[in-house]
Amino acid sequence: MPVNTIEGMEFKGKKVFLRAGFDVPINSEGKILDDFRIKETIPTIKTLFRKGAKQIIIGSHQGRPKTAEDQSPSKVAKKVLQHKEKHLQMDEIAKLIFKLTKKSTQKLDDCINFREEEFPSPEDARIVVLENLRFYKEEEENDEEFAEELAKYADIYVNDAFAVSHREHASMCAITNFIPGCVGLLVEKEIRAFNKILKNPERPYMAIIGGAKLKTKLPLIQNLIDKVDKLFLGGAMIFTFYKAKGINIGKSPLDKDSLAMAQMLGNNDKIMLPKDIVISDDPESTNSINVTIDKIPSYMYGLDVGEQSVIEFKKKIAKAKTIIWNGPLGYYENPFFAKATVNILKFLAQSPEIKTIIGGGDTASLVMKLGLKDKFFHVSTGGGASLKLLETNTLIAIKYLEENNK
């Protein structure tokens, strides 16, 4: 692994800036609904303390603050503080960190512009949780001044935010210009898992790709088509493929800009599209029927992979040695249209001989809800990051670390 890791660096007596990926599902009151990403970073925190770290300063973002475009330059912190959205503050995350680590933890009301005497000492707080980094627009602008402000709190930088490592943001990239750094245990685990399939997958090697927007999945499909032995497609994006074949898709979503590419890819023998579909006149309904793809009425929506196609998919998948999965196969937000995804997930969970990598995002959330995490070779914490890694074999934040630690 070309980038520095925790085991290769000295932490005794050092203060560490830990960039974590704690952007987790929350409700309107800021209560945490899924703590998977947070728990996955706890081993890194414990290892840093075991190796003698004096204090860990945790920086992360939460959600997409609506006021980002209105926020002031980083020199005028007071104005930013007036615009913080309460449910996106890091208070609940700090409480959970304390509960999981049993280390003295203090959450701050800002993330920069502290006078030296204002910042908690290691005696007062072994863990310091900074306020949501995205309350400053400079974070997403990869602003050098903002990154330098973050870096001055610590001696060493650790990137354990795999889920954001495809973003060229200040706390992910520019910060590496100011202090030496490495990847945390979570990022190391993620990269090693993906490298196993990117470099030398056991064959037959297959992919399951779902999701709503074909445009976002096209680069992944194009990158995988020459590498896999079979590629199964599901989700709302499949209706553009059907339309390209001249099939009526009713009210199902259509990506007109991707029709030409869908027509070309749809002729590839490696791609397997469902032959039957679950349809309804209302995506929020519990009423549905199963039809072949050429029998979708003009007033109906295609919402899940059909029963016969699930059986056919499973017959093919059973022969695989390696599988990468990115994106649900149906409108999973309604449990009635998550059946195909759940059915195949449970099938793979009972097939330990198949190395299955779940590429984060909505599919990983379903895995966690089903209690199946330990049944798979790897469940990623980052949907967008895993997508980018599979598309390009690189992540921008990792490139910054490599370049600045030569």
Q: Which two tokens stand for residue 47?
A: 């290892």
* CA dihedral (209, 210, 211, 215) positive or negative: positive
Pairwise CA distance, residues 253 & 239, whole Å: 7
Q: How far is CA 84 from CA 57, 73, 88, in A?
A: 20, 15, 8
Query: Which long-range CB contacts under 8 A does 257-265 form with residues at least 24 apart?
Result: 257/215, 258/214, 258/215, 258/218, 261/218, 262/214, 265/221, 265/222, 265/225, 265/241
Helix (H, G, I), strand (E, B) or coil at 339: helix
What angle (nearest 5°) sits at the alpha carbon of residue 238, between those of residues 317 and 321?
Answer: 15
Question: From its phi and psi, is residue 187 left (phi > 0), alpha (psi between -120 and 50) or beta?
Answer: alpha
Q: Known catalytic residues?
A: 37, 213, 361, 384
What angle (nearest 5°) sits at the alpha carbon of residue 205, between those of residues 204 and 210?
Answer: 135
Pairwise CA distance, residues 406 & 404, whole Å: 6
Burial of residue 345, with CB atoms counted within 10 A of its CB: 0-12 exposed, 13-18 middle, 19 or more buried: buried
